[in-house]
DNA sequence: AAATAAAACAGTAAAATACCCCAATTTTTA
DNA sequence: TAAAAATTGGGGTATTTTACTGTTTTATTT
């Protein structure tokens, strides 16, 4: 916990490429020392059981094949309560987040955050004992934040989703239930897209979507 | 393409952390030069449209929020055919793999491969023009064996004429007058084509026509 | 010329689409 | 904190598309 001693870190992730990449990234940050990496939760467990050097912090992938992040986190909390686990996940699933925190995770990060935030959160967890964004969802939404399309037409995520479904023989009613929306809302998406794309029939939507390669046949 | 000049690489992935990690990893490999990274397909498109330095190879995430890998790959193939795209994905989904390859990807890699394989595949794509793992090859073979391009559908001249007009925002009434026919006759053409093509909406006609290149966008 | 096939045309009804009106929430912005 | 914007949802209606039932005309073949 001293200021000068580097923070000892382990990384657990079953995506080999990500694991090695992240190891490089974290290692390159001063004061961070990646002492070991593992492809799966039980490898970490085995490593610790053998009495090897314990890390200060574990970066823990949530979804793993053999022993997942939740189980691993729970085991670490039970057997090495001084080790702080920081969850890394691809997406925000409320239920998973809660389970992970209940299992003792000191934070929950999305894998698409900026490296600076990772650095900051590791430091926060190490010094303060925890780090979590006030609202993971809002952080996610902010990072997603819409930008311009190549022909000046800005399409939102949900609009693209609708557009893709419109390029099928589904009726709007079917699209509505597929998107868990009321047919009226679909009506709005249709009208908004008619306006943005400047067309007046569903055929126009389809032609645009294919032309712009939003859907590939 | 000279032996000594480094391979220029762009990376497109909307998982920021993965993107930056991978950038570090790839950059650290000798002869690889990551000239730019992007969070989304359309950022790459914008970059290229602005006339910036084109890469030799693009590492392309398949699932992205705004402009996904398939769409991006198709655009690159269309506009910068000399750039070779290498798909990166979390999982193998037969349909996705096929679409990606159809869109012009020179290879399809899983994100949990060993970094050495990534290095090897980039080199292969650069020198030989492609790199397929056995996994992908077998997927490809599976799809090929059960495939007949033209399902014996013979369209008459007048039907093709109608089909082309159906791929527009014209109403059937307008198509009728354009073809100098009664709307009722158009009704017949429509029904005959529904039967021949095996679909049940005008959208189906449009999708078929474009797929079979009866109409070119 | 008669038989046959095809192309063109017709009425009706039901479903889907398109186009208006508007409002309750939530989120973002000022 | 209030205003503005975005999201989702609603009612009603006109038009278009789709699904049937057919008949008439035109062209080809025998």
User: Phi then psi for B144, rounded to 5 degrees?
Assistant: -70, -40
Q: What is the mean pLDDT of chain A?
A: 82
pLDDT band at residue B148 using 50, 70 and 90 as cut-offs = very low
Q: Which residue of B has its CA nearest to A171?
A: B201
Name the one residue in this structure whose structure tokens are 């409320």: A94
Cα A174 to chain centroid distance, Å, stands at 29
* Minimal Cβ distance to B169: which of A110, A155, A199: A199
In this structure, are residues A30 and A7 in contact, taking their beta carbons and an 8 Å threshold? no
pLDDT band at residue B160 using 50, 70 and 90 as cut-offs = confident
pLDDT band at residue B112 using 50, 70 and 90 as cut-offs = confident
Q: Which of B18, B37, B1 is nearest to B123 (CA)?
A: B1
Domain ranges of chain B: 7-136, 140-211
Q: Strand C: which nucleotides have any atom within 7 A of a protein Cβ? A: 6-11, 15-20, 22, 27-28
Task: Residue A160: list chain B partners with CB under 8 A.
Answer: 66
Q: What angle do CA A65, A70, A75 make, to 5 degrees?
A: 105
pLDDT band at residue B3 using 50, 70 and 90 as cut-offs = low
Task: Report the pLDDT value the prediction gives residue B13, as an integer from 0 to 100.
Answer: 94
Bridge partner list, A34: A9
Task: Report the pLDDT value the prediction gives residue A143, as an integer from 0 to 100.
Answer: 25
Indicate the burial class of B109 (C-beta count within 10 angstroms; 0-12, 13-18, 19 or more). Answer: buried
Q: In this structure, which topology does domain B7-136 adopt according to CATH? A: Rossmann fold (3.40.50)
Q: Which top CATH class is B140-211?
A: mainly alpha
Q: What pTM, to 2 d.p., does this model score?
A: 0.53
For C16, nearest residue by CA–C1' is A171
């Amino acid at each position: 916990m001293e200021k000068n001693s580097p923070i000892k870190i382990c990384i657990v992730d079953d995506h080999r490429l990500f694991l090695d990449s992240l190891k490089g990234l974290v290692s390159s940050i001063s004061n961070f020392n990646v002492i070991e990496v593992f492809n799966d939760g039980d490898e970490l467990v085995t490593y610790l059981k053998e009495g090897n050097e314990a890390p200060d912090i574990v970066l823990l992938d949530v979804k793993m094949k053999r022993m997942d992040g939740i189980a691993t986190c729970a085991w670490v909390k039970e057997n090495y309560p001084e080790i702080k686990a920081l969850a890394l996940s691809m997406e925000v699933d409320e239920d998973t987040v809660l389970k992970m925190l209940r299992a003792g995770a000191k934070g929950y990060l999305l894998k698409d955050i900026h490296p600076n935030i990772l650095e900051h959160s590791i430091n926060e967890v190490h010094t303060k004992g925890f780090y979590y964004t006030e609202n993971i969802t809002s952080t996610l939404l902010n990072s997603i934040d819409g930008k311009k399309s190549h022909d000046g037409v800005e399409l939102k995520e949900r609009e693209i989703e609708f557009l893709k479904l419109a390029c099928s023989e589904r009726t709007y009613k079917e699209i509505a239930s597929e998107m868990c929306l009321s047919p009226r809302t679909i009506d709005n998406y249709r009208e908004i897209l008619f306006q943005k794309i400047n067309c007046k029939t569903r055929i126009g939507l389809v032609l645009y979507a294919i032309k712009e390669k939003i859907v590939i046949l």
